[in-house]
Amino acid sequence: SVHTPFSGGLRTMATLNVPELIAKKRDGHALAPAEIVDFIGRVVKREVPNEQIGAMLMAIYLKGMSAPETVALTTALQNSGEVLSWPQFPGVVVDKHSTGGVGDKISLPLAPALAACGLKVPMISGRGLGHTGGTLDKLESIPGLSVSVDVQRIGAILESVGCVIAGQTETLVPGDRILYAIRDVTSTVDSIPLITASIVSKKVAEGLNSLILDVKVGKAAFMRTMESALALGTSMVNAGNGSGVRTLGIVTRMDHPIGYMIGNALEIAESVYCLQGKGPKDLDDLVIAQGGHLLAINGTAPTAEAGKEMIRKVLSDGSALAKFEQMVAAQGASAETAKKLCQDPMSVLAVAPFKTDLLAPSNGFVTDIDALALAKTTCVMGAGRLKTTDVIDFAVGLQLHVVVGDAVKEGQPWVTVHHTKPLADEHKAAISGAVTIGNAQPPVQPRIVGLIQGSASDNAAFHPL
């Protein structure tokens, strides 16, 4: 069920006109919540020309926003269209969002694992652009599966399966689509309040009880430094809690790829291996940690440790895999495809006609695998998009045979390149240059750095683990 607000929204006693609002923010003053609601209301009704929207975005970019302003912007965007609500699923509606990484397939096993624990996951996800792969693109590599799921159908799948991973519908958060298109052409994308409101408004519009945010930090993350990752993570956790959704941030390192697979079909295959209880350790650990903490903040598990145990159980006993099979079928794949996918994924997924092994240049230990370099190259080879109209080649990708810390011998394959066109020398060179082999075994850093915790009344704070 949905409600559509914005028949005017809140009003200030004497509503400022748009130039006055822009000037107020330009001069570094905080906007009142009612002013933000009023401005977004007018934007959605197309009463504000793009020049003025661009000027306001630049003022926000340059002067920033306080936590209360960011919460008000998040809520105004959330309420700019229909807001989902699930009275039939009291207290069990949850989701997760990642700020994006390489080989970041965590959502794919996590959603069915949470459903197997009795939760409902209406995951409205995004597409890939640039070096970060999109969950929707990965799912579309499954023959017959559709990520265009309307709100009624989302409810039906939540009822019968418990999880759905779909694209943004036209009716959810239209205000963000308008702002985002203008941010893109006015160089105002990299603003923490604007990023926060854009991400969190779309999540809270799903009608959630609880939300976990995977905040990536490192060379292949959107936020490369701990300082910037914590600034964004804290802002997002405050906005989620301030919008009435229990929200926890988990800060994770994103220097090296997650798991062994990078690409679309290959990452679906690795997600299935995780659901079969045969996943790579780092992927398993991240799915278990994020699921466990989400079960705990939602009150479904008494502690995060108990929550992690619940996730471990559903990954090992086949119940999460069964949920994934049901979800794939519910989203349009044939029952036969869904079943085969969950038994032997590469029997149904696109397989590249060419596979080229690249060999370790010397003996030693893998000290670094540059996830960003690998992602940029696979993107150019067809696994990603450089512009939104690009068509993805699902079969293209990389299959790593080593992780950081492994010993290698000279001439041993460290990666297999899956490609549909002959491998260009520059691509081969770029991939080869992404691995560093040293004489000493490096210390392996844990993926999980810490938690960002807060509440509706408390500002979020970082707790290292």
Determine contact, residues 453/248, Cβ cutoff 8 Å: yes
Determine contact, residues 95/123, Cβ cutoff 8 Å: yes
Q: Which of these, 238, 228, 220, lies nearest to 191 by C-alpha position?
A: 228
3-state DSSP helix/strand/coil percent for the chain, to nearest 5?
45, 20, 40
Dist CA 402 CA 423 (whole Å): 21
Dist CA 36 CA 39 (whole Å): 5
The sign of the torsion formed by the CA atoms of 221, 230, 99, 112 equals positive
Determine contact, residues 164/135, Cβ cutoff 8 Å: no
Q: Which of these, 369, 93, 110, lies nearest to 214 by C-alpha position?
A: 110
Which two structure tokens, joined as six digits, stand for 24? 């107020």
Please report the DSSP string for 109-155 in residue order: HHHHHHHHTT-BEEEEE---BTTBPPHHHHHTTSTT------HHHHH
Tell me which long-range contacts 297-306 makes (C-beta under 8 A, separation of at least 24): 297/210, 297/212, 297/246, 297/247, 297/248, 298/91, 298/92, 298/94, 298/119, 298/209, 298/210, 298/246, 299/91, 300/92, 300/117, 300/118, 300/119
Indicate the DSSP class of residue 382: I
Rg (Cα) of the chain, in Å, rounded? Answer: 22
Residue 108 φ then ψ, to 5°: -65, -45
CB atoms within 10 A of CB 225: 11
| Residues labelled as active-site residues | 97, 176, 183, 198, 202
Dist CA 462 CA 456 (whole Å): 16
Per DSSP bridges, beta strands 364-369 and 94-98 are unpaired
Dist CA 387 CA 374 (whole Å): 18
